[in-house]
Amino acid sequence: MRVDIVTIFPEMVRGFVREGIVARAHERGVVDLAVHDLRDFTTDRHRVVDDAPFGGGPGMVLKPEPFFRAVAHIRATRGEPSKVIVPGPQGRRFTHETAVAWSRAEHLVLLCGRYEGIDERVVEALATDEVSIGDYVLSGGELAAMVVADAVVRQVPGVVGDARSVSEDSFARPWLDYPHYTRPADWEGRRVPEVLLSGHHGQVARWRLRTALERTLDRRPDLLDGPGFPGESLPQETQAEVERVLRQIRAERLARGPERQEREQES
Ligand code: JD8
């Protein structure tokens, strides 16, 4: 897979490319990620990339020409992109499903905005997709582009060493992960749950499913009544087990009473 990121802050993105998952994918020859400085595609002496918005108002807007020249350069030197993605708060939500779908693409281009954003004609003429990574305000598209690249690249076969780590990722399942522990078994009096030291794989699996579902009920109940639940791709017996454990947790909580539950959640 090829990935090209166009930005006015190439050094910000290069750090991400040098470390972690994308670097590993690059070493393994699975992903080829290139960062392009938008200023290299200006034609004026001062390399100006922004201008005041038509219609007035605060801030600056990124000019169209450098983006058109950058994408033409990428087409000529790196081939026709499968997708040209513009991260922005006006985009459709980027989700795990999007990451999985885009991991099958041959060539992704990500265009990063700054200031008030990018001239809309760039989005109209060049973008295949406009995506937002979440409901909070970032100062530019770079962090969002890196989030998208990271999430997509780790779905490409051969990037994450142990394929189980990918298929067992939370959001690959429609509930949250269970808590993790490593040595020592006692850290200043804080003990690892006894069942994890027991060597009983069946008990460990049941404990993990139960704590995962308890956390999900507490922190992300929306995941459990969403349309993605209990998940079409899960084996039937897993689905049935999940439903059974959920009913059990809910029944226990009802029996315990709501006041006690609130106190327990605080501690
Ligand atoms: C791209 C410029 C900043 C946007 C004025 C401050 C994505 N989930 C997300 N939150 N924010 C962004 C995002 C923000 C961006 C740009 C992405 C380019 N800004 C602007 C308009 C209003 N500010 C994002 N994906």
Calpha distance 245→251 (Å, rounded): 10
- Position 266 scores a pLDDT of 56
Please identify which of the residues 169, 177, 214, 241 carries the catalytic annotation.
Answer: 169
Closest CA to 63 of 80, 41, 30, 82: 41
- Site residues for ligand 1, CB cut-off 6 Å: 87-89, 91, 113-114, 116-117, 132-134, 136-141, 144
- Position 164 scores a pLDDT of 74
Q: Which of 6, 94, 132, 137 to mutate to test the pocket of ligand 1 (most atoms within 8 A of CB)?
A: 137
Q: Which ligand 1 atom sits closest to the C-alpha of 91?
A: 25
Calpha distance 11→36 (Å, rounded): 10
Please identify which of the residues 89, 206, 230, 241 carries the catalytic annotation.
Answer: 89
Calpha distance 100→83 (Å, rounded): 14
Q: Atom 4 of ligand 1 has which residue's CA nearest to it? A: 116
User: Which residues in the chain show pLDDT less than 50?
Assistant: none
For residue 52, count other CB atoms closer than 10 A to its CB: 12
Helix %, strand %, coil % for the chain, to 5? Answer: 45, 15, 35
Calpha distance 172→174 (Å, rounded): 7
Closest CA to 172 of 181, 164, 161: 164
Please identify which of the residues 2, 47, 116, 210 carries the catalytic annotation.
Answer: 116
88: which strand partners? none
- Position 263 scores a pLDDT of 62
- Position 173 scores a pLDDT of 80
- The pLDDT tens digits for 136-191 are 999 999 999 999 999 999 999 999 987 777 876 766 688 999 999 999 999 999 99
- Position 39 scores a pLDDT of 98
- Position 113 scores a pLDDT of 99
- Position 165 scores a pLDDT of 77
Calpha distance 209→92 (Å, rounded): 32
- Position 50 scores a pLDDT of 99
- Position 262 scores a pLDDT of 66
